[in-house]
Homo-oligomer: A and B are copies of this chain.
Amino acid sequence: MGNADYVYPSSTAAGDGGECIHRAAIPPAQPFVKSLKNGLKETFFPDDPLRQFKNQPAGRKIILGLQYFFPVVEWGPRYNLGLLKSDLISGITIASLAIPQGISYAKLANLPPILGLYSSFIPPLIYAMMGSSKDLAVGTVAVASLLISSMLGAEVNPVQNPTLYLHLAFTATFFAGVFQASLGLLRLGFIVDFLSHATIVGFMAGAATVVCLQQLKGILGLTHFTHATDLVSVLRSVFSQVHQWRWESGVLGCCFLFFLLITRYFSKKKPKFFWISAMAPLTSVILGSLLVFLTHAEKHGVEVIGELKKGLNPVSITNLVFVSPYLSTAIKTGIITGVIALAEGIAVGRSFAMFKHYNIDGNKEMVAIGTMNIVGSCFSCYLTTGPFSRSAVNYNAGCKTAVSNVVMAIAVMLTLLFLTPLFHYTPLVVLSSIIISAMLGLIDYEAAIHLWKVDKFDFLVCVGAYAGVVFASVEIGLVIAVVISLLRLLLFVARPRTLVLGNLPNSTVYRNVEQYPNADHVPGILILEIDAPIYFANSSYLRERIIRWVDEEEDRIKASGESTLQYVVLDMSAVGNIDTSGISMFEEMKKILERRGLKIVLANPGAEVMKKLDKGKFIETLGHEWIYLTVAEAVAACNYMLHSCKPNPVTDEKAEPWNNV
């Protein structure tokens, strides 16, 4: 380093030619109410939904408001025959998937099969009016169905007490809807963001595994089966009754599963033929029913659906139970299934919106999905959302607007009115095959491998969720994943990294010496970067860690015989905020370091940090002249002190660069 660096304030040392020194500024004070308002706005309205309402006449505001809550008002008037044609095709396609899937998932939830059809009639109509996604196909989902059966089933036996169980399912759906809609209305949509991608990958795969295991009952034609959902209990239950396995059922199940998987594989290879895999479930149902009808296999161990009531959804609003010892179970089930369903629905909506280049407002979607569940619970529907499989088929079938949901609802309505008797002979084993084939698509092992490669911690979250779901229960898996994810966030704050910076040759840039091995140490000055906000959770750690850096640096200097350490420059660029514990830590550290003859110099504290340091009187204690705008300026000032006049910066407090200039 040339001698020119030690002249201060020189042109080369402090930025480009002729630059004057900037002081690290304390931002202008804001009144408390204004800063509180800003904070709340950033927290709850980051997307600023009211922006378009600004400076509009009252009439226009009402229309905009209507359009906000009922997007149909916006796109409805522009609807035309061309769009209808596309929506008709996609609507019929998803209906053909909705009918067998609906029945299957209702069985999975231990609810009457007809509920699956009811749930594909009313909720899609509501969503078509309120939803902002053009691709979401509404329906029930496997994971939520499984959760309902495991959570409600733990309290009420669905076989011994079917009416109570059914009513609790409606009540849970009602609370799920209320919870979803309130999250949206209270602008708390970001809660869903706490379910990270890694959590969802692990959780979905685990749930899919569990659902597949449950299907062993149907495939093997077992009559007794465990109520537990974990791997160990299920396998023990299955293998304890080997002599009761029914080969007829097993063979039929494997054949249909093979058929479904083949069609899915084919459609995946050639996306043009998406309709083959979309139609396969209905084809399986028709083939299976015909087969049973012709061979009378229902008398040889192949269970069938049996009687399905004809007619539209009965009103169930009077069935909601708000005064019951099981109310808390219903609320708990509602909240958990509601969150899971919401996470899936919003993730699916966002993915397809991204493909088609339009935007989804998470909070608005929550209100739509919540309303559809509240209304649904009054008309014999159970929990619905936007399942991935059905929405993907909808998208591939070329849907243009939410009208495809209306078409599906009409198709289901016609089925309910006229075609239910046709399902009498549908074998349960076909439904099991349909579920398994859908579930296998949810086990995204490639995503897990990607997580392992990119981020080991995310992989841990994913495996934790998977193992929790498979070996314990669905709720425990979810709790494990959320807790690990939160621990990660807390650990990030509790153990921030501190980095030693060095000077990149021939520049005024100071960077981490680990990332840039050619960065040079500056003699007599230790430059540290703190990489996180300084909060109570990390202030003790940072004090210890910084002092250890100083110890290590002094050891190094002793070994190498360089000039002694006199300054510790702290680069605060990455310190987003500080609290009172952090300020006390700085005061303590200043005392400790001064006792060792070292001076603290701060570089580039942000607005928030400067404000707090000022209010906490630390700037006064340290001296504003020891806070610089850039590391380069701080180092230049220290170098000037080190090489020109050499006063001890600590013992002689008066010897400040500003006084000498």
Contact = CB atoms under 8 A, between A and B. Distances in A.
A536 B485 contact: yes
Contacts of A515: 25, 27, 606-607, 610
A193 B533 contact: no
Contact of A492 (B455, B493, B544): B493
A607 B529 CA distance: 13
A494 to B, nearest CB: 6
A198 B580 contact: yes
A12 B608 CA distance: 31
A445 to B, nearest CB: 15
A32 B536 contact: no
A490 B486 contact: yes
Interface in A10-69: 11-12, 15-20, 22, 25, 27-28, 32, 36, 42-43, 46-48
A630 interface: yes
A218 B495 CA distance: 47
A624 interface: no
Contacts of A134: none
Given A506-B19, A509-B629, A458 B579 contact: yes
A190 interface: yes
Interface stretch (A234-242, A329-337, A569-577): A569-577
Nearest to A578: B455
A581 interface: yes
Number of copies: 2
A504 interface: yes
Which among A514, A536, A548, A577 has the highest number of chain B CB atoms within 10 Å?
A: A536
A182 interface: no
B576 A573 contact: no
B616 A536 contact: no
A196 B454 contact: no
Contacts of A537: 190, 193-194, 196, 485, 489
Interface in A476-516: 485-486, 488-497, 499, 504, 506-509, 511-512, 514-516
A397 to B, nearest CB: 24
A55 to B, nearest CB: 12
Interface stretch (A245-253, A406-414, A583-591): A583-591
Contacts of A357: 595
Interface in A170-194: 190, 193-194
Contacts of A493: 489, 492-493
Contact of A514 (B11, B27, B455, B489): B27
A494 B362 CA distance: 15
Contact of A512 (B531, B606, B615): B606
Nearest to A35: B456
A583 B454 contact: yes
B454 A492 contact: no
Contacts of A11: 16
A354 interface: yes
A451 interface: yes
Interface string A535-546: 111111100110
A504 B633 CA distance: 14
A581 B591 CA distance: 42
A535 B489 contact: yes
B573 A574 contact: yes
25 contacts: A15-B508, A15-B509, A16-B17, A19-B507, A20-B506, A22-B504, A46-B541, A46-B548, A47-B544, A194-B536, A196-B535, A196-B537, A453-B615, A454-B580, A455-B579, A455-B612, A457-B579, A489-B537, A496-B576, A497-B608, A499-B606, A509-B629, A512-B607, A515-B607, A531-B576
Given A16-B507, A43-B495, A509-B629, 16 more contacts: A11-B16, A15-B508, A22-B507, A46-B544, A47-B544, A193-B494, A193-B536, A193-B539, A196-B535, A196-B579, A197-B584, A362-B540, A489-B535, A492-B576, A574-B574, A574-B576
Give the 10 A-B residue pairs with the shortest CB-CB distance, closest first. Answer: A196-B536, A515-B607, A574-B574, A531-B576, A454-B615, A27-B515, A197-B581, A454-B616, A47-B544, A19-B507
